[in-house]
């Protein structure tokens, strides 16, 4: 007698090696107990998956539900679960919610969401994970430890090289977090409080990840004209430290830089041939969702938000920034304001519209928006090549991630806009690769199950086999598609009929169950 049987489906095991097979799956408790012909077996509940693929639950290897605070505001994470996602990996791009050497470290997330008014009743990673485990989570959650969070908690807004004693403190804090269950260490080298981190600092911390058998995740220093140097830096760090590396949300921003894709792929191929453990993730959209200040020259935001605002207030430095933006030859006019803490009336408008109203150039309008919003602005920018996106999706080292945050499916009462990837990344990816035959079904599923599980070090998830945790997605390969758009992001995707989380039905008939079965995972 099984607790649950999934019958008549085509099972794709997540290894990337086995084509879809007509198999039944028997589940007892939270484990897969049997795989084979179970037509005569009995169970308390049966899912008839006739015509559907049955796969491991999807693993979102790059998620920001913590930095957008939705892990606490909407712990059910319905927009993740309805995509077939059973596990999310937060603490990315250098920003995690713990550890906090001081509350200054919490400001690392303010570039995505204002931190004002939140009750922070933890300091160490162990305390944070314990508090998070009390939430009624709709998906499993694991975290990395953020370099910027630790560094900022130690230095505040000082931007300088660490002293030896400070570096030893950072090493102790990192070690403590890894021992408490953090799955790795993340860097966000494009952001103000990490941009000038020394190679020695990065290497010493990355070696700690290696010593503990953990991974590193890196938002590289540049994804535009200097992307090749930024990728070389990331690969060198992995090679010298021995750490498993994931380059976060790989993309080439800006039409004038799209031609660099072949060289990026060449570097990745060479890395693979050398046997280095390097991967990348990406989201299947040509519209990015970046923090607005990252368009500026790096010197202008050294020291963080307060220093940037001081520079924007000085006419000479302001003019110098504008000239730099003009020299970069970027098309800024179509950038849309998605989130603006201080100027909600600008949300939904693009820079060309704002520039016309203010009778200034798009570059000047960009600086005006930053000034009026105290630099806390996130935007939409249609700046990624479709051809490059296809190349990266097909690449054997690529994993697919939302790089978004989990929300409830009912639209929340806010003027802020969210990226449709928060609701549709996985179904969109599967629709693209299966309909266009870019990848075989088994390779397509591997990129969102077995491969991220291997990178993260999840031994009993990401594959369908006897004894593994019963995290499973059931979907129609011909009917799966995303519905979320930039104007209407709160649209649940179609085609996913069931999600099993730890042996329990978390989504059935396309509907989210009231009970929540997610857990906090510790490395």
Would you say residue 398 has pLDDT above 90? yes
**Superfamily of segment(s) 2-57+464-512:** Urease, subunit C, domain 1 (2.30.40.10)
Residue 22: the pLDDT is 97
Beta bridge partners of 507: 499, 512
For residue 20, the SS3 value is coil
Per-residue tokens: 478: 């011909």
Residue 376: the pLDDT is 75
Provide the edge-to-edge strand list for the sheet that holds 145-146. 145-146, 184-188, 215-219, 244-247, 278-282, 398-400
Beta strands in 343-461 (DSSP E): 377-382, 398-400
Other CB atoms within a 10 A radius of the CB of residue 145 amount to 29
**Whole-angstrom distance, CA of residue 479 vs CA of residue 379:** 31
Other CB atoms within a 10 A radius of the CB of residue 507 amount to 23
What pTM does this model have?
0.95
Question: Count of residues for the chain?
Answer: 523
**Whole-angstrom distance, CA of residue 202 vs CA of residue 101:** 18
Ramachandran assignment for 144, one of left (phi > 0), alpha (psi -120 to 50 degrees), beta (any other)? beta
pLDDT in tens, 403-431: 999 999 887 767 789 999 999 999 999 99
Average pLDDT over residues 332-357: 90
Average pLDDT over residues 448-476: 97
Instruction: Name the least confident of 101-105, 189-193, 210-214.
Output: 101-105
For the chain, the structural domain boundaries read 2-57+464-512, 295-379
- Residue 116 binned pLDDT confidence (cut-offs 50, 70, 90): low
pLDDT in tens, 21-54: 999 999 999 999 999 999 989 999 999 999 999 9
């Amino acid at each position: 007698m099984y607790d649950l049987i999934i019958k008549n489906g085509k099972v794709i095991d997540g290894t990337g090696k086995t084509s879809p097979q007509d198999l039944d799956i028997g589940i007892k408790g939270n484990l897969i107990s049997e795989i084979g012909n179970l037509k005569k077996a009995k169970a308390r509940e049966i899912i008839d998956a006739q015509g559907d693929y049955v796969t491991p639950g999807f693993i979102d290897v790059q998620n920001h539900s913590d930095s957008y605070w939705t892990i606490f505001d909407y712990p059910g994470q319905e927009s993740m679960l309805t995509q077939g996602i059973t596990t999310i990996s937060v603490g990315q791009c250098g920003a995690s919610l713990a550890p906090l050497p001081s509350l200054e470290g919490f400001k690392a997330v303010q570039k995505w969401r204002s931190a004002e008014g939140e009750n922070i009743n933890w300091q160490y990673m162990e305390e944070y994970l314990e508090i998070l485990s009390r939430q009624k989570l709709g998906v499993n959650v694991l975290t990395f430890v953020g370099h910027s969070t630790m560094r900022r908690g130690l230095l505040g807004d000082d931007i300088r090289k660490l002293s030896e004693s400070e570096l030893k403190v950072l090493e102790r804090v990192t070690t403590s977090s890894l021992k408490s269950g953090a799955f790795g260490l993340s860097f966000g080298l494009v952001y103000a409080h990490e941009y000038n981190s020394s190679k020695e600092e990065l290497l010493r911390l990355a070696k700690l990840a290696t010593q503990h058998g953990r991974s590193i995740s890196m938002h590289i220093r540049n994804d535009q004209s200097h992307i090749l140097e930024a990728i070389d830096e990331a690969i060198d760090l992995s090679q010298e430290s021995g750490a498993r590396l994931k380059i976060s949300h790989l993309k080439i921003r800006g039409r004038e830089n799209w031609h660099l894709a072949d060289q990026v792929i060449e570097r990745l191929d060479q890395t693979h041939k050398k046997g280095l453990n390097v991967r990348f993730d990406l989201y299947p959209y040509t519209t990015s969702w970046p923090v607005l200040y990252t368009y500026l020259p790096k010197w202008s935001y050294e020291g963080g938000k307060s220093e940037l605002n001081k520079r924007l207030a000085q006419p000479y430095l302001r003019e110098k920034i504008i000239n730099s933006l003009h020299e970069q030859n970027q098309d800024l006019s179509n950038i849309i304001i998605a989130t603006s803490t201080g100027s909600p009336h600008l949300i939904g408008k693009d820079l060309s519209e704002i520039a016309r109203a203010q009778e200034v150039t798009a570059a000047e309008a960009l600086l005006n928006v930053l000034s009026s919003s105290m630099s806390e602005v996130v935007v939409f920018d249609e700046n990624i090549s479709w051809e490059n996106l296809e190349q990266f999706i097909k690449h054997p080292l690529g994993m697919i991630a939302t790089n978004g945050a989990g929300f409830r499916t009912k639209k929340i009462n806010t003027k802020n806009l969210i990226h449709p990837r928060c609701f549709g990344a996985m179904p969109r990816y599967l629709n693209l690769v299966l309909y266009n035959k870019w990848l075989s079904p088994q390779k397509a599923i591997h990129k969102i199950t077995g491969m991220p599980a291997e990178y993260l070090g999840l031994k009993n998830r990401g594959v369908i086999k006897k004894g593994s945790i019963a995290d499973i997605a059931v979907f129609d390969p011909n009917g799966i598609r995303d519905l979320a758009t930039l104007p209407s992001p709160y649209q649940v995707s179609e085609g996913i009929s069931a999600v099993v989380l730890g042996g329990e039905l978390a989504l059935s008939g396309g509907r989210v169950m009231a009970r929540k079965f997610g857990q906090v995972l510790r490395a």
